[in-house]
Amino acid sequence: MTSPVGSNSSFPDPCSALEDPPGLLAMGGDLSVSRLIDAYRHGIFPWFEDHQPIMWWSPPERAVIWPQQFKPSRSLLKTLRRGHFQVELNTAFDAVMKLCREHRLTQHQGTWITDAMCDAYLGLHNQGLAHAIGCYRDGRLVGGLYGVSVGQLFCGESMVSVERDASKVALAFLMKACTRLSIDLVDCQMPNPHLMSLGAEPMDRDQFLSYLIARRDKADHLQGQKGVFLSYDSDSLFTSPS
């Protein structure tokens, strides 16, 4: 049995998560802003589908990227320098999140991005705690990503490409923004071959929690940032002060 999360109780110790299924820590509770903040500050995230109860996870191994060490592939660098996409930070959080959901559904894949999740993360965004990068082509949103900041750590939630390389471009601009804004670790949740191909590396839970604790009370310099990114090679981030 997993430990239930009551309406006023704290989460169990993340290290007490189940081995099977790997990382399942608790079930129940709600998706209030305060509970989500509590979860992310302890290395826990919600992941479930519409027909399931809210499930909270702390996997034994995470995929992480160090922004300062991120090096785009040769082909991605060419795409970045062509400038085919207009890339924006925090201008359309709701639209980016819904695109992540709708694209999965059109591909006949299940999705954890339920209406309740959209409402919950929009609540985090409205408090300056969740951020999204959108990629536009001819005025149309064609890719992006979103996630949650915990001090100097960014927790990625989902990414999407409707056009080739759009999510990779969004990731590259996230790495650039994090490097400039002193966010030195990006959590990609659970490892998979696609994330590893983009430069992620595995980190065990104990080490991840140690890094999280060292960063969670520091200032989130993504908070309050908003605008259209300049070119990838530019020394500045935005076309106008954010």
Domain range summary for the chain, segments of one domain joined by +: 3-59, 63-228
- Distance, CA of 10 to CA of 96 (rounded, Å): 30
The answer to whether residue 173 scores a pLDDT higher than 80 is yes
In the chain, DSSP assigns E strands to 3-4, 24-27, 45-46, 55-57, 61-65, 86-89, 130-137, 140-150, 153-161, 185-187, 201-204, 227-228
In this prediction, residue 10 carries a pLDDT of 78
Span 40-52, average pLDDT? 91
Mean pLDDT lowest for which of 4-8, 61-65, 68-72, 119-123?
Answer: 4-8
Q: How far is CA 186 from CA 3, 67, 114, 146, in A?
A: 28, 7, 24, 12
Q: Is the pLDDT of residue 5 over 60?
A: no
Give the residue among 134, 158, 131 at the shortest CA–CA distance from 85.
134
Residue 107, class by beta-carbon neighbours within 10 Å (0-12 exposed, 13-18 middle, 19+ buried)?
A: exposed
The confidence score (pLDDT) of residue 209 equals 96
Which CATH number among 3.90.1150.10, 3.30.70.3550, 3.40.1350.10, 3.10.20.30 corresponds to the domain 3-59? 3.30.70.3550
Closest to 57 in 3D by CA, of 86, 100, 27 = 27
- Average pLDDT of the segment spanning 49-59: 91
Q: Residue 1: its pLDDT value, please?
A: 37
pLDDT at 58: 96
Tell me: pLDDT of 28 over 60: yes
Residue range 208-236: mean pLDDT, rounded: 95
Q: Do domains 3-59 and 63-228 have the same CATH topology?
A: no
Give the CATH fold of the 63-228 domain.
Aminopeptidase (3.40.630)
**pLDDT at position 108:** 62
pLDDT recorded at residue 103 = 82
Instruction: Write down the mean pLDDT value for the chain.
Output: 91
205 vs 103 pLDDT, higher one: 205
pLDDT at residue 193, rounded to an integer? 87
How many Å apart are CA 135 and CA 139, to the nearest integer? 9
Query: What pLDDT was estimated at residue 240?
Result: 59
What's the pLDDT band for 110 if we cut at 50, 70, 90? low
